[in-house]
């Protein structure tokens, strides 16, 4: 099984809170324990983990924290068809990108800086729908792997569907986001490059209630074989689940 598949399996398994039989797994997460700790397991599971260092290139995402590309003051929100390098896919839905600024607006501080994005935007400023598909295109090398990371939180407590969103890389579904419990979760996935104009998109679950998931701190960095050309190193955890 390819490493990418294994990573996807583990990350989804971890964040869904249900463990499955997984073989050797490759994990890279800034929020994961760095060494020596065993993941949370079910009653009948064990895992053996080891850590290695990997090297990463510079961040390819522009405005991944949504701090730029809008003129909002503190404690304001607005809806836009473009926020810097991020665009609303108006062929998918006539919904804009909602940005919230401030540490208390919407009931949750951003995970990074002073601004965050909401998938289920308010249908104001001329938009007729609210659940957005937001995307950015970047140039990647089809022969190289990249680490995609981002922070997601539901807005609404105790709702099974309104906060959901899907993540697509070059048109392929790579993760489904959902939770009933408010709070930031860091997702980290390994993806294969797809050439010039690679599209990373997040598509909110369509229910039109103007309350949905939050997104912040999006990054895409190439996995480097060694220090040459790398901007940073991170600890990668490999685990064998039994
Ligand atoms: Ca931010
Ligand atoms: Ca919703």
pLDDT 10s digits, 119-158: 999 987 889 999 999 999 999 999 999 999 999 999 999 9
CA of 220 to the centre of ligand 2 (A): 26
The encoded tokens of residue 123 equal 């249908």
Q: Top-level CATH class of 77-224?
A: mainly beta
Ligand lying nearest the CA atom of residue 116: 1
For residue 201, CA distances in Å to 74, 81, 134, 139, 148 come to 27, 14, 6, 14, 12
Ligand lying nearest the CA atom of residue 206: 2
Element (H, E) at 201: strand 198-204
DSSP class of residue 81 equals S
pLDDT at residue 47 is higher than 80: no
CA of 197 to the centre of ligand 1 (A): 24
CA of 221 to the centre of ligand 2 (A): 30
Ligand lying nearest the CA atom of residue 163: 2
CA of 23 to the centre of ligand 2 (A): 36
CA of 207 to the centre of ligand 2 (A): 5
Q: What residue spans of the chain are helical by DSSP H?
A: 3-16
The pTM of the full predicted model, rounded to 2 decimals, is 0.81
Judge contact between 69 and 83, C-beta under 8 A: yes
Residue-level pLDDT at 35: 37
Residue-level pLDDT at 148: 93
CA of 54 to the centre of ligand 2 (A): 38
Residue-level pLDDT at 53: 83
All structural domains of the chain with their residue ranges: 3-59+233-241, 77-224
Could you read off the pLDDT of 170-206 as tens digits, one per residue? 999 999 999 999 999 989 888 999 999 999 999 999 9
Ligand lying nearest the CA atom of residue 130: 2
Task: Kindly report the length of the chain.
Answer: 242
Judge contact between 152 and 185, C-beta under 8 A: yes
Ligand lying nearest the CA atom of residue 207: 2
Ligand lying nearest the CA atom of residue 103: 1
Integer Cα distance of 205 and 177 in angstroms? 10
**What would the mean pLDDT of 84-108 be, rounded to a whole number?**
96
**What would the mean pLDDT of 68-81 be, rounded to a whole number?**
97
Q: pLDDT averaged over the chain?
A: 83
């Amino acid at each position: 099984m390819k490493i990418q598949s294994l990573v996807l399996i583990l990350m989804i398994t971890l964040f869904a809170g249900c463990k499955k039989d997984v073989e050797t797994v490759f994990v890279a997460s800034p929020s994961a324990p760095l060494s020596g700790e065993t993941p949370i397991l079910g009653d009948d599971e064990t895992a053996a983990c080891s850590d290695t260092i990997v090297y990463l290139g510079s961040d390819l995402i522009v405005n991944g924290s949504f701090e730029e590309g809008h003129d909002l003051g503190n404690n304001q929100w607005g809806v836009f068809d473009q926020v810097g390098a991020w665009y609303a896919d108006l062929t998918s839905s006539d919904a804009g990108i909602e940005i919230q600024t401030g540490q208390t607006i919407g009931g949750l501080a951003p995970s990074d800086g002073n601004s965050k994005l909401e998938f289920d935007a308010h249908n104001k400023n001329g938009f007729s729908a609210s659940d957005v598909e937001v995307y950015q295109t970047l140039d990647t090398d089809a022969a190289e792997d990249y680490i995609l990371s981002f922070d997601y939180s539901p807005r609404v407590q105790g709702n099974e569907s309104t906060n959901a969103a899907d993540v697509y890389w070059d048109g392929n579904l790579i993760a489904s986001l959902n939770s009933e419990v408010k709070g930031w979760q860091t997702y980290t996935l390994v993806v294969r490059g797809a050439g010039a104009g690679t599209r990373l998109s997040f598509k909110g679950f369509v229910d039109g209630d103007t309350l949905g998931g939050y997104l912040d701190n999006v990054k895409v960095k190439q996995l480097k074989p060694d220090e040459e050309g790398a901007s940073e190193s991170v600890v990668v955890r490999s685990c064998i689940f039994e």
